[in-house]
Amino acid sequence: MKIGILGNGQLGQMLADSVTDLTDLEIRLYDLRAHSDDALETFIAGVDLLGYETENIPAHIVAKLEAHADKLFPSLTALKTFQNRLLEKNALRAAGIQTADFCAVNSLEDVHNAVETLGLPIVLKTTTEGYDGKGQYVLRQPEDAEPAWEAIGNRELIAEAFVTFSRETSVIASRDRNGNLVVWPMTENVHHEGILRYSLFPADGLSADKAEQAERYIRQLADSLDYVGTITLELFDTDSGLVANEVAPRVHNSGHWSIEGAEASQFRNHILAMAGKALEPTTARYPAVAMLNVIGDETPAVKAESTANAHRHSYGKEARPARKLGHVTVVADSVAERDQTITELSELMPSGVWPPQAH
């Protein structure tokens, strides 16, 4: 069976790498940056199933997928829903999942109205193409409305009430074609300047109630869309439970730890789900695991090669500031051992990012 993935970045590569032992599956990657209509049609004609490593697929390419919706997993509906923050928030609410209050913003007047309805502060975001904190503006006072609209507006935006959270977490699941769902243990995720720097399993002190809430949420969401594949739900950890921030209809950076850290990785189960095969267990293989991103410069990652309980992944990309070039997975027999190894590798992070703030 030939499976085509739109996008040939590190996610596509790790999807392909996850099933090299399954000789009945062949994974092909399509370079979205070298797109032409002919190249896409040829690519699609040559595969049995079609997937994507990113939801940031330009509208003119998504339009081409309409005619091939029957071989697209996750579905065209899922792709379109999670490409747009307004549709995404509506889908979350429809599935019974707690989110920040929000409203659509299409003009400067709407920004003022949002301030009235939601109160300050509010987070203004572009509805499409925003990632790693790009296309966002936090309004703290009514006078911020105009500069905010100037900076990211003149297009459709969403205004969200500001959520006060103690930390960010995510939950990742895979759902197969028969509706069976497997969920990985949650991680705590620490960002710096809008970019994920590291993820920790277990998330320190996460209550059983919140873990159950996360599992319930992702099941409700995946079931509501008859979703097939791996799906990620990013959640704010707040005093009043978990609040959904955003969804990725795909494998996610906060799940890279699962390659070495879990029985089956998020990549492998994504492909298995697409292919109509049975999903594999998601249980952690170690008591404690961490994933550290390698960003902008790979030099500090070299040390991980001589660190006994660390695994270095290099994506073979040219170095550029703020670019994800690889990641390091730390596996450990205890949280203390995990944290000691992270401290040894902490040159990978800007100062002050490790250890996480107490919560």
**Cα(88)–Cα(352) distance, rounded to whole angstroms?**
33
Size of the site for ligand AMP (CB under 6 A): 13
Neighbour-count burial for 172-211, b at 16+ CB within 10 Å, e otherwise: bbbbbeeeebbbbbbbbbbebeebbbbbbbbbeebeeebb
- By the rule CB under 6 A, 163 interacts with ligand AMP: yes
- By the rule CB under 6 A, 176 interacts with ligand AMP: no
Torsion angle of the four alpha carbons 347, 349, 355, 356, in this order, in degrees rounded to the nearest 10: -170
Closest to ligand AMP by CB, 200 or 264: 200
Closest to ligand AMP by CB, 53 or 246: 246
Closest to ligand AMP by CB, 133 or 276: 133
Closest to ligand AMP by CB, 100 or 206: 100
- The amino acid present at 127, given as its one-letter code, is T
Among 8, 9, 156, 162, binds ligand AMP (CB under 6 A): 162
Copy the structure tokens of residue 282. 């998601």
Q: What is the largest CA-CA distance in the chain?
A: 60
Torsion angle of the four alpha carbons 222, 224, 226, 231, in this order, in degrees rounded to the nearest 10: -20
Among 160, 188, 260, 339, binds ligand AMP (CB under 6 A): 160
Copy the structure tokens of residue 131. 């990632």
Considering only 18-26, 157-165, 293-301, 310-318, which stretch makes contact with ligand AMP by CB under 6 A? 157-165
Copy the structure tokens of residue 289. 């695991």
Tell me which residues in 71-110 interact with ligand AMP (CB under 6 A).
100
- By the rule CB under 6 A, 191 interacts with ligand AMP: yes
Considering only 158-166, 248-256, 264-272, 340-348, which stretch makes contact with ligand AMP by CB under 6 A? 158-166
Considering only 156-164, 261-269, 324-332, 341-349, which stretch makes contact with ligand AMP by CB under 6 A? 156-164
Which string of DSSP letters, residue by residue, matches 155-222?
Answer: S-EEEEEPP--SEEEEEEEEE-TTS-EEEPPPEEEEEETTEEEEEEESPTT--HHHHHHHHHHHHHHH
**Cα(3)–Cα(23) distance, rounded to whole angstroms?**
12
Contact in structure between 160 and 117 (CB atoms under 8 Å)? no
Considering only 15-23, 160-168, 173-181, 329-337, which stretch makes contact with ligand AMP by CB under 6 A? 160-168
Supply the minimum distance, in Å, between the C-beta of residue 294 and ligand AMP: 20
Closest to ligand AMP by CB, 53 or 234: 234
Residue 86, SS3 per DSSP: helix
Give the per-residue contact string, 120-139, with ligand AMP (x = CB under 6 A; - = no).
---x------x--x------
- By the rule CB under 6 A, 245 interacts with ligand AMP: yes
Residues contributing to the site for ligand AMP (CB under 6 A): 100, 123, 130, 133, 160, 162-163, 168, 191, 194, 234, 245-246
